[in-house]
Amino acid sequence: MRSDKTKKSVEKAPHRSLMKALGLTDEEIARPFVGIVNSANELIPGHMHLNQVVSAVKAGVRLAGGTPMEFSVIGMCDGIAMNHEGMKYSLPTREIIADSIELIAMGHAFDAMVFVPNCDKIVPGMLMACLRLNIPSIVVSGGPMLAGRLDGRTVDLISVFEGVGELKAGKITEQDLKELEDAACPSCGSCSGMFTANSMNCLTEALGLGLPGNGTIPAPLSIRLRLAKHAGMKVMELLEKDIRPRDIATKESFMNAIAVDMALGCSTNTVLHVPAIAYEAGIELELDDFDRMSRKVPHLCNMSPAGPYHIEDLYYAGGVMGVMKRLSGLGVLDTSVMTVTGSRLEKNLEQARITNSEVIRPTTSPYHEEGGIAILRGSLAPDGAVVKQSGVLPEMMKVKARARVFDSEEDATEAIMSGKIEKGDAVVIRYEGPKGGPGMREMLTPTSAIAGMGLDTDVALITDGRFSGGTRGAAVGHCSPEAAEGGPIALVKEGDVIEIDIPGRRIDLLVSDEEIQKRSENWRQPERTLTGVLKRYASMSLSADKGARYRD
């Protein structure tokens, strides 16, 4: 066992003495050590209950003959960090989470590990560490929040963000917004739509690193605790059989996960996180891998923010395994891949049941013929840009719009909220990429304001930053190269015409090559003073099309 290097032989008597100071008995020290990564805190609704989930995991480990050893990692609530400088710090936490887990896991020589995340950057950060370490491991999330209820309709966090825009447009009163605020987030768990956290938890299950149910069992249900106990027991089986994360998360498994991504209509942030996770397993994924899969896989689940359904609906309809059962009939999945159940995917799918064909549509009657995400290229984004096409209204799938240019999210948001954006505009927000932000802020506030004010049928939003999984509308993000690297988005001027053609996978700045060359020669990177984490992140991060991960 790996842990023997900390506890076996007479030379390790001092080490054992320290373990006994923790209260461990000789019997516990003799057993395999299982590191339990707990991201519980009092900052995030999705993490407020994770101590209970971790207690269940530890019970499972003990039932199967292991000794659980818990340690903590940081986590940030993107919703609370949204629309102020705090959001610049969110994406860098992904790398810090991965690095900190590696440090502890190597320092304490665990034999196996259980990762317990739930929200935005914590899930990909833990998955990166899981594949980097390649110790027998399993991931069990805290589960999704229940949807809220207000006046006979379901609501969620995005309803509140869009409610701000509705208030600014005079569509609702402050009292209406207060009632929405009070109702939208009714329980613990990751926000209830197919936003980034739930997207990543579902893809963890699709990838094979989480047990069936990991992505969709609601946080408040006791079956979530039973799942956690089973995860604790199952990791001991993985240790016994020496099944490691890279045995599970193969290139074929990642392509399976991308297929599920397209069927679910997941967050555009998956295009940022999945390649960064794959890289830790020595697997290179490209933007075109997502686009090719999008052409093959129809959009089967119309989840919030684009549709009326929430994760609890997906759970009761058949969950991620139900979606994969649908896709297996298309021939787009490799069902021979191994999973943390100890069985291959084809075996797991034998147990899958679909109980609602409106929540999980048949492949013969999808919500959209193509998958949820599209990759655009063109003169504005030669290295690629990302759009959640399942959330774009038909009239915005192919448009020409005049550029309204802003060098920060704050400036763009002020213009939107004050009514300065009109039909036919394309709001361009630049210098918000991995280096330019730095930190590549999510921009849920401006997109939600546009939707709430009823402009999502007429206004596009384009950025080298990124969008929340809660974003809907013609929102094109991850424009690469970013403005801070002198990418074409840095050269856009007020009033330029931008053409977006999502079916044709194009995004172009309709300015002559001669004019672009002239602007490029006159461009100078804006001066700024950075310190601390953001200074390091700006110097170390790669572009969005490379997953915004640290350079080697």
Angle value at C-alpha 122, between 237 and 359, nearest 5 degrees: 80
> How many whole angstroms separate alpha carbon 327 and alpha carbon 528?
48
Beta carbons within 8 Å of 194's beta carbon, 6+ residues apart: 202, 264, 265, 266, 267, 301, 303, 304, 305, 306, 311, 469
Give 175's Cβ-side CA count (13 Å radius): 0
Cβ pair 88, 538 in contact under 8 A: no
Any bridge partners for residue 499, and if so which?
Answer: 400, 508
> How many whole angstroms separate alpha carbon 519 and alpha carbon 496?
13
Query: Which H or E run contains 318?
Result: none
Q: Which structure tokens are listed for 36?
A: 């339990």
Residue type, position 479, single letter:
C
Q: What is the three-state SS of 479-501?
A: EECCHHHCCHHHHCCCCCEEEEE
> How many whole angstroms separate alpha carbon 232 and alpha carbon 201?
18
Torsion of CA 513, 518, 521, 522, to 10 degrees: -140
Q: Say which of 159, 328, 468, 541 is annotated catalytic.
A: 468
> How many whole angstroms separate alpha carbon 118 and alpha carbon 40?
9
Q: CA-CA distances (angstroms) from residue 276 to 292, 420, 547? A: 19, 38, 5
Query: Which H or E run contains 71?
Result: strand 67-72
Q: Is the dihedral of CA 40, 42, 46, 51 positive or negative?
A: positive
Tell me phi and psi for residue 521, to 5 degrees: -65, -30
**67-72 and 112-116: which strand pairing?**
unpaired
Active site annotation includes 541 = no
For every residue of 325-344, DSSP letters joined together read HHHHTTT-S-TT-B-TTSSB
Cβ pair 523, 491 in contact under 8 A: yes
Q: CA-CA distances (angstroms) from residue 450 to 78, 167, 179, 185, 345? A: 20, 12, 21, 22, 42
Cβ pair 75, 37 in contact under 8 A: no
Positions marked active-site: 468
